[in-house]
Amino acid sequence: MAEQKAQEQGSSPQKPLLKFSVMHYKKERVSDEAFKKWYEEEQVPRCITIFKKYNIVKYSMYLTPTVLREAFDQELKERRNSNWKMGDFSAVSSYWVHDADDLRNVLSSSDWAEKIAGPETDWVNMGSAVVLAGFETVYLDDGKIINTVPLPE
């Protein structure tokens, strides 16, 4: 019984995937609604087959509509700390890979240049972005505690 509880509370840590996230700005003339529609209906279908080809393990897009950024920015200032602010990015693309070379390979491919970066020029401000690289470890997933040592009772 105690062993089962320990397994529910914590599992053996798994080697985390390398995660790259790119914070993008959409072009000013593009509305949040149009950006979301373009991304989901045009860009994602192009990306997915290419990412599979280059061993990208996981990919996600985190859209940050202006109305939410503005509302939560005000709330942060009122409740938390006047120096805190919401990021002003329009979207965050995240790529998970086993090896950085997998991402390097897709970024240097003609597939990327022609089918992903090319179409983005009408929608995304290509002159400005912020990139993060690191490891993401999930500790609570679907209500289950994972990737930790067993917790004390």
Higher model confidence: residue 97 or residue 83? 97
Which tens digit of pLDDT belongs to each residue from 91-144?
Answer: 999 999 999 999 999 999 999 999 999 999 999 999 999 999 999 888 889 999
- Asked whether the predicted pLDDT for residue 7 surpasses 70, the reply is no
Q: What is the pLDDT of residue 138?
A: 82
pLDDT at 5: 46
Q: First and final CA of the chain: distance in angstroms?
A: 13
What local confidence, expressed as pLDDT, does residue 64 receive?
A: 93
* Residue 13, pLDDT above cutoff 60: no
The backbone torsions φ and ψ at residue 132, rounded to the nearest 5 degrees and listed phi first, read -120, 145
For 27-69, the pLDDT digits (tens) are 999 999 999 999 999 999 999 999 999 999 999 999 999 999 9
Q: Judge if pTM exceeds 0.85.
A: no
- How high is the pLDDT of residue 12? 52
Q: Given the structure tokens 């491919």, which residue do they identify? A: 109
Packed helices 44-53 and 100-107: angle between N→C axes, nearest 10 degrees: 130
Question: Which CATH code fits 17-136?
Answer: 3.30.70.100
41 vs 34, 48, 54, 142, CA distance in Å?
Answer: 10, 12, 22, 28
